[in-house]
Structure 1
Amino acid sequence: MQLDEIFSEIEKIAPPSTAAHWDKSGLQVASDRKTADALAVCLDPTPTSIRAALNHNAHCIVCHHPLSLSPDLPCCLDAYHEALRLLLTANVALYAAHTPLDANPAGPAGWLAEELNLTNRAVLDPLADTVADFPEALPSGFGLAGDLPASLEGSAFVRLLSRHIDLSTATISGCLPRFVTRVAYCTGSGASLLPQAGKENAEIFITGDVKYHTALSTEICLLDVGHHSLEEEMMRRMSQLLAERLSPLTVCFVPSESPLRLAVSP
C-alpha cells in the first residue's frame, strides 16, 4: 500500500488541523519507500517499541507521542539517537498522531466512554467542528463527560473501572463520592481540564500526571490513573481501526508497559 494512502487515512482519524499549537504531530522520520507491506502501531517511539515493530517487518510505524517535542541534533548517544538510528538504518517511516488523535472524541480516544456506555456526552474543551470522517460525532476537542447507565456507589465504580484500566499505581485526590452518576476523563495529562469536569457536574474526573497542588485543591474526586493506561488502550484500538480501514495491509499493535511502578509492593 502507498505510504501516502496510509498517512491520508491516519489524518482522517486524527486531522492535523486539530493539533495543539505546541505539538509536533505528523511525519517524524521520512523514508524513501513509496509503499509498505506492514504497519506497526505503538504508544511511544522508544527503541524497544521500534525494534519490536521491525521484528514484525513493519515498513511504517504510527505512534502517539512524538519522537521529540523539541527536535534537536542527535549529538548524544541516548534513546533519541538510538530511535533515529534504528528508523533510518531500516528505512522505516515514523508518523505521530498525538493531540489530533486526542481531540477526536468519536475516535479511539472515546474508548472508555464506549466501554462505560456513557450517554449525554459532552466535550470538556471543544475546538470547533466535528471531525469530517465521523459525521455523527461530537465537536472535536479534548476530554469527555457522560452519564453512566445507572448510578453506582463510588467503590463499585472504581471496581468497574479496574476491569478496563490498570489501577495498580492509581491515586485518588478528594473524596470518593458516595454515588457516581456522571463521569469525566481525559487521556494523557488532562488535569488542566478539572474545572471543565466540574462544570459538567461530573462526580469523578479520570486522567493522568496530576500535580500536587491540583490534587490539594480539587473540589471533585480526581483519579490519577497515570499517563500510560488510557493511551495504551487508545492506541490498541487505533491499530484495530487502521486494520479495518487499510485492509489488506498487515497492521500490528506493539504493546508497552508503564514506566512507573510502586517502589514498595503492598
Structure 2
Amino acid sequence: MYAKGQAVIQLMEELAPKSYAVENDKIGLQLGTLQKEIRNVLIALDVTDEVVEEALRVDANLIIAHHAIIFRPLPHLQTDTPAGRLYEKLIKHDIAVYISHTNLDVADGGINDMMAEAIGLKVTEPLDEVHTDKLKKLVVFVPVDHADKVRAAMFDAGAGAIGKYSHCSFNIEGVGTFKPGEGTDPYIGRQGQLEQAQEIRIETIVPQSAERRVVQAMLKAHPYEEVAYDLYALDLKTRTFGLGRAGKLEAPVTLAELCERVKQAYEVPMVRMVGDPQRVIRKVAVLGGSGGRYVRNAIFAGADVLITGDIDYHTAHDALAAGIALIDPGHNVEKIMKQGVADYLQRKLDDRKWKTRAIASQTDTEPFRFV
C-alpha cells in the first residue's frame, strides 16, 4: 500500500514543523495536490527542469524541495516563460511540489545539524533564535488496564519531556461515570445504563509542535469510542530553536585544515577563505545558505570561524577587522539535505510498511562552474 500525500507530508512536518519557519517564508505545498497516493517522493534542493525530468525517470509524483518555486504572487501564468514552462510541466505530469525551507534549517536533525555533524562539531547551539516551543498540558482519562499503553503511545509521539528528563507524567486513580446512548458501542457498560469505571487520570507535558501527533497517538491507543481529554495552554516555554549552529571540534585544527575538511564533507571542489590559514580553530559556526549577516552572531557565540555561503566583499573585510575567519563553500552545500531527508523519510515509511520510496535527487543544481 502506498502512502497518501498528506501522510508523507505529516512525516516531513514531524522533522520540520511549519511553525519553525521564519515569518513570511514560502513553505508548504506550492503546486499540485496531496490528495493522492505517492509512489515515489524525490528530495531535491531546487526544482529545475532537470530535476523534473529526474522525477519523471524515477516515477516520482511528489517533490519535496528546500528552495521555493513560487516566491511572490504570480501576476500571470504564461507557459512561454521559463517559470511558466516549469509549472506547466509539473501540472501536466501531476507532480506536486512541497517546500521545507527555514523550518528545515531550524529543525533538530535539519540542514544545519547535518552540516555541523558532517565536519565533526560537538554539542551545538543555535546562532540566531527564531522559535521557542510553547508547552501545553494534556490530561486524559483512561481505564486502568490501558493506562500503560496510552502513556507509552504519548511518550513515543513526543510528550513527557521536561528538560533532560523524559517520560514525565502524573497519575491519579479515580472513578469515571458515563451513560452510553443509543447507537453507541461502549468499551465498558451497556447502552442506556449509568456506568462507573476505575480510571487513571494521566497528566503530561506536550510541546506545541508535537501536539497534533501526540493527540493522534493517544486517541489511537485509547480503547474508548469517545475519549475524555483536556489540553491546557501553559505560561511556560521549552526548547528554543534557531538558524545556524555553533559548536566545538573534537580537536583543534588550522583554518587551512578545516577548509580541506569542509571540501570533503560538503563535496565541493573549492572554498573561499578569509583569515590566516595557520590560525588555530577550536569553535566553529555553520549556517547553510546565505549567512553573511550572521557574522556578529558567530562572534557572539565565541566562534573562531563562520562557515556559510554567499559572502560579499565588504562582509569579508568586516570579518577580518573583527577577528573572525570565514569559509565560504557556496550556497549549494545545502544539498546535504537531499540524502539526509530521504533517509529520514524512508525509515518512517518503512516503519509504517508503506511501499512509497523516498529518493535523494542526483541532479546537480549548482549554477556556478569553477574554471
TM-score, length basis structure 2: 0.66
Q: 1:36 to 1:195 in 2, by over 3 A?
A: same
Say which of 293, 303, 309 aligns to 1:208: 309
1:67 aligns with 2:174: no
Quote the residue 1:157 is aligned against.
258
Say which of 16, 25, 31 aligns to 2:18: 16
1:252 aligns with 2:332: no
Partners of 1:234 and 1:52 in 2: how far apart? Answer: 17
1:226 aligns with 2:330: yes
How far 1:133 moved relative to its partner?
Answer: 5.8
Give the number of aligned pairs.
262
The answer on whether the counterparts of 1:171 and 1:225 sit within 8 Å (CA) in structure 2 is yes
Pairs within 5 Å for 1:1-266 = 1-31=3-33, 33-72=35-74, 73-75=76-78, 77-129=80-132, 139-176=240-277, 178-218=279-319, 219=322, 220-229=324-333, 231-247=334-350, 248=354, 249-257=356-364, 258-262=366-370, 265=371
How far 1:109 moved relative to its partner?
Answer: 3.1
The answer on whether the counterparts of 2:115 and 2:336 sit within 8 Å (CA) in structure 1 is no
Quote the residue 2:143 is aligned against.
none
Partners of 2:26 and 2:115 in 1: how far apart? Answer: 25
Match of 1:234, SS state, is helix
Partners of 2:263 and 2:239 in 1: how far apart? Answer: 26
Partners of 2:82 and 2:43 in 1: how far apart? Answer: 19
State the Cα deviation string for residues 216-254 of structure 1 (Å, max 9, x = none). 21121111111102x101222111111111223211111
Partners of 1:133 and 1:139 in 2: how far apart? Answer: 16
State the Cα deviation string for residues 91-129 of structure 1 (Å, max 9, x = none). 121101111101114334311222233223110011233
Larger Rg: 2
Q: Please identify, of 117-126 and 164-173, the stretch whose mean Cα deviation from structure 2 is larger.
A: 164-173
Partners of 1:187 and 1:217 in 2: how far apart? Answer: 20
The answer on whether the counterparts of 1:124 and 1:197 sit within 8 Å (CA) in structure 2 is yes
TM-score, length basis structure 1: 0.90
Unaligned 5+ runs, structure 1: none
Match of 1:172, SS state, is strand
Partners of 1:126 and 1:32 in 2: how far apart? Answer: 32
Q: Please identify, of 188-197 and 101-110, the stretch whose mean Cα deviation from structure 2 is larger.
A: 101-110
**Structure holding more strand per residue:** 2
Partners of 1:127 and 1:133 in 2: how far apart? Answer: 21
Match of 2:128, SS state, is strand
Q: Please identify, of 102-111 and 196-205, the stretch whose mean Cα deviation from structure 2 is larger.
A: 102-111
Amino acid at match of 1:118: L
